[in-house]
A and B are shown apart, each in its own frame.
Chain A
């Protein structure tokens, strides 16, 4: 019995959310007094792989095979299940990224594992009971989910567990998967990634705006505020429905649920559906001209006033602060 972590790389590099998942997996292994191995698929430099040891893995299996350079949920799931078998791992952990969401159920189905997608805390182990906390009702509540089967798959939400250094000198080992599974004829035609923008799903700071901004051309100051803070931009549902902003920026009950360290809501009234997607943010700042806006009830800090006056001033003040 051991724990296996799948370490997803993005163009050969690991994101912070992967390190979070590695630390989480190490602590899970520690709770069970067992070892943590990692599996990497695709081309990653040894120095980058060594970081996985820093964050807690004792061993890193690497599949550096050009056939598996591009993501295929079926082939990857098969490789990860194979690595779990090799390592006698019955718990597989991964980051709940978009690819993680695609992969986790496939892995679980292969090994008939109990699965939690969107874990937000370390497992609770009491006697024979092994349970994991996750958000339900789109952020309006939490559930403690018991994973009954011996095989378990846990997909950890980004920004829900602190990166910790364990300083292991991980042994790096080549792994040749025996997978016969192909990609089922899925062809990746194109990958379009905005490299100059912070991705909303794993952003530590998010600047979000709503109908209070009145028109799409007014997002310039929102983008500028996001740039000075190194933040991602987001919006409320009416804004994406109106086509002012793309759907992937919509956070809320029927959009993305996020848990950044800092969420700044500008000109968003705070309808229950919007709040559902952001209540697990660590700190919430609300800027709204209506002092009665429901958003103030869930905010840590609030400014009552006109966003068109406050935001440009805030940008200047943050620039000043950053330069000192």
Chain B
């Protein structure tokens, strides 16, 4: 089984987000980058699926040289090879086109990626690649089981789930519950250094969208503390002032 995992390089979850250049650029100064947590789930699932199946797991990232430590981390976790498409990711359309272009001749059985990246929260890549490659896609998969050339996938829906049977190949965006994250061990970290990391030049893609400015949430006013023996007052304020109950 040949599996491709698309990963993005995102700021660590504890990062305080600030912007520079008149709020037009994310301030990366002092920021630690990690494998996008949802992509980590995709990678862990891919490794679990490939084991015992004589499978291979390829990780792909669209990014400049600075993202290579993230790809090495994926190799340390258990991927067999890594591919970096050498370009700054401009929008989801750009990234999806690069991934689809790479994958189109490679006959992957399964392509996995996180349901969204925790930086730009586009949540588009799985379905875009599915459409570009003309294969089935599930954008938020909570469970994936593969047997005899097809997969059983649970898709999240409002208040429940939909259980789907999908023929291979397909692409899915992974959500929590799909796998337990695998933590790289020392052997993995050592072997990652010698695993192949291919760098491929990007194809030309028109830009469809661009971020003009950023801002951060307005701070809320000071909290209004309500004594615990005066819950009526809280209810009254929620009702008449905030109008939420």
Partner of B224, one of A144, A273, A302, A304: A302
- Answer yes or no: A145 CB below 8 A from chain B CBs: yes
The listed residue with most B CB atoms (<10 A of its CB), out of A71, A74, A141, is A141
Give the residues from 20 to 41 in chain B that come closer than 8 angstroms, CB to CB, to chain A. 26, 37-38
Contact B123 A118 (CB under 8 A): yes
* Residues B201-241 near A (CB distance < 8 A): 206-217, 220-221, 223-228, 231-232, 234-235, 237-239
Return B223 CB to nearest CB of chain A, in Å. 4
Q: Which of A98, A298, A302, A305 has the most B CB atoms < 10 Å from its CB?
A: A98
In the assembled complex, the Cα of A73 lies from the Cα of B242 at a distance in Å of: 39
B140 on the interface (CB 8 Å rule)?
yes
Are the C-beta atoms of A321 and B239 separated by less than 8 Å?
yes
Query: Which of A114, A118, A194, A279 touches B209 (beta carbons < 8 Å)?
Result: A114
Report whether A117 and B166 are in contact in the complex, using a CB–CB cutoff of 8 Å. no
Is the beta-carbon distance between A314 and B216 smaller than 8 angstroms? no
- 0 or 1 for each of A69-82: is its CB under 8 Å from B? (1 = yes): 00101100100000
Asked whether, in the complex, the Cβ of B213 is within 8 Å of the Cβ of A144, the reply is yes
* B174 shortest CB reach to chain A, Å: 11
Asked whether, in the complex, the Cβ of B139 is within 8 Å of the Cβ of A190, the reply is no
Check A164 for interface membership: any CB of B closer than 8 A: no
Q: Choose one: B19, B93, B126, B162; the contact of A188 (CB below 8 Å).
A: B162
Could you give, for residues 181-200 of chain A, a 1 whenever the CB lies within 8 Å of some chain B CB and a 0 otherwise? 00011111111111101111
Give Cα A135–Cα B217 distance, bound, in whole angstroms. 10
B47 sits at the interface (CB 8 A): no
Do the beta carbons of A115 and B235 come within 8 Å of each other? no
Is B119 an interface residue, CB under 8 A from the partner?
yes
Are B176 and A250 within 8 A (Cβ)?
A: yes
Q: Please tell me if the beta carbons of B223 and A310 are within 8 angstroms of each other in the complex.
A: no
| B216 interface neighbour in A113, A141, A283, Cβ under 8 Å | A141
Instruction: Indicate if B161 sits at the interface (CB-CB under 8 A).
Output: yes
Q: Contacts of A144 on B, CB cut-off 8 Å?
A: 211-214
B210 and A148 contact, CB distance less than 8 A? yes
Residues in B neighbouring A67, C-beta threshold 8 A: none
Contact A314-B244, Cβ < 8 Å, known A137-B118, A253-B13: no
Q: Which of B1-9, B51-59, B62-70, B127-135 faces chain A?
A: B127-135
Closest to A155 in B: B123
- In Å, the complex CA distance between A238 and B208 comes to 38
Q: Is the CB of A310 within 8 A of B228?
A: yes
Interface residues of A in 265-281 (CB under 8 A from B): 272-273, 279-280
B132 CB contact (under 8 Å) in A109, A131, A195: A109
How many residues on the A side are at the interface (Cβ–Cβ under 8 A)? 101
Tell me if B209 and A115 are in contact (CB < 8 A). yes
Q: A255 vs B13: C-alpha distance in the bound complex, in angstroms?
A: 12
Interface of A is mostly: mixed
Residues of A within 8 A of B19 (CB): 141
Is A108 a contact partner of B216 (Cβ separation < 8 A)?
A: no
Residue of B nearest to A255 (CB): B176
Listed stretches A35-43, A99-107, A171-179, A212-220; interface member: A99-107
A143 CB–B CB distance under 8 Å = yes
A131: chain B residues at CB < 8 Å are 212
Interface centre among A144, A199, A255, A310 (most CB of B within 10 A): A144
User: A residues 282-300 with Cβ under 8 Å of B?
Assistant: 282-286, 296-300
Provide the residues of chain A in CB contact with B122, threshold 8 Å.
Answer: 117
Considering the complex, give the chain A residue whose CB is closest to the CB of B162: A191
- Does A149 sit within 8 A of B, measured CB to CB? yes
Tell whether, in the assembled complex, residue A105 and residue B216 are in contact, meaning their CB atoms are under 8 Å apart.
no
How does the 8 Å CB contact mask read for A226-252 relative to B, with 1 for contact and 0 for none?
000100000000001000001110100
Contact A321 B216, CB 8 Å, known A135-B121, A286-B223, A300-B242: no
- B200 interfacial by beta-carbon distance below 8 Å: no
A189 touches B163 (CB 8 A): yes
Given contacts A137-B11, A194-B160, contact A147 B124 (CB under 8 A): no
Contacts of A305 in B (CB 8 A): 228
Nearest A residue (CB) for B165: A187
**B137 at interface, CB cutoff 8 A:** yes
Q: Are A146 and B212 in contact (CB under 8 A)?
A: yes
> For B175, what are the chain A residues with a Cβ–Cβ distance below 8 Å?
247
Is the beta-carbon distance between A301 and B228 smaller than 8 angstroms? Answer: no
Q: Complex: how many Å from CA A309 to CA B159?
A: 30
A205 within 8 A of B: yes
Q: A148-B209, A201-B158, A262-B244 are contacts. A187–B164 as well, Cβ < 8 Å?
A: yes
From B75-83, B149-157, B186-194, the one touching the partner chain is B149-157
**Interface contact A142-B136, CB-CB below 8 Å:** no
6 contacts between A and B (CB under 8 A): A106-B127, A144-B214, A146-B209, A146-B210, A254-B37, A262-B242
Interface residues of chain A, those whose CB is within 8 Å of chain B, are 10, 15, 71, 73-74, 77, 97-99, 101-106, 108-110, 112-118, 129, 131, 134-149, 184-195, 197-202, 204-205, 229, 240, 246-248, 250, 253-255, 257, 261-262, 272-273, 279-280, 282-286, 296-305, 309-310, 313-314, 317-318, 321
Closest 4 CB pairs of A and B: A105-B127, A193-B160, A199-B159, A109-B131
